[in-house]
A = this chain, B = another copy of it.
């Protein structure tokens, strides 16, 4: 089956990103397809490359990036939510006149339509949040 996953919370503060990651890994192992992972609300904070958690802790943004690379996942960060919270790619930072960006590899910034399209194109949409 084809899945779209919605993640509403940032890493660490709540378990939603962890739960979603384990769900996606299990779905891939079963041969399912992940059409898209959409990051909304504070979920956009999963897409920063500046996180440096303690050595003995998991690095959630890096785990998402690695999973995306290994399986060609489409990790989409909502642009409106990202602007509110300060998650920027190079283009968007430039457009906003900012001097830095912080997006992690494997993530891309796009609009909310990508979430709706995920719902339309997938067999199942599963939401992880607070």
Bound CA–CA A57/B80 (angstroms): 12
Say what secondary structure dominates the interface of chain A.
Answer: loop
Stretch at the interface among A9-17, A25-33, A64-72, A114-122: A9-17
Instruction: Return chain B residues, CB-CB under 8 Å to A53.
Output: 83-84
Query: Does A57 contact B84, Cβ atoms closer than 8 Å?
Result: yes
Tell me whether A93 is interfacial, beta carbon within 8 Å: yes
Residue pair A85, B11 in contact (C-beta under 8 Å): yes
Docked-complex contact A41 and B61, CB < 8 angstroms: no
**Binary interface profile of A, 53-89, with partner B (CB < 8 Å = 1, else 0)?**
1100100010000000000000000001001111110
Chain B residues lying within 8 Å of A10, measured Cβ to Cβ, are 10, 42, 45, 85
Q: Which chain B residue lies CB-closest to A61? A: B86
Which of B52, B80, B86 contacts A45 (CB under 8 A)? B86
A47 smallest CB distance to B (angstroms): 9
| A84 CB contacts on chain B under 8 angstroms | 11-12, 51-54, 57
A93 touches B41 (CB 8 A): no
Asked if A100 contacts B101 (CB within 8 A), the reply is: yes
The residues of B that contact A85 with a CB separation of less than 8 Å are 10-12, 45, 48, 51
Q: What's the minimum C-beta distance from A96 to chain B, rounded to whole angstroms?
A: 5
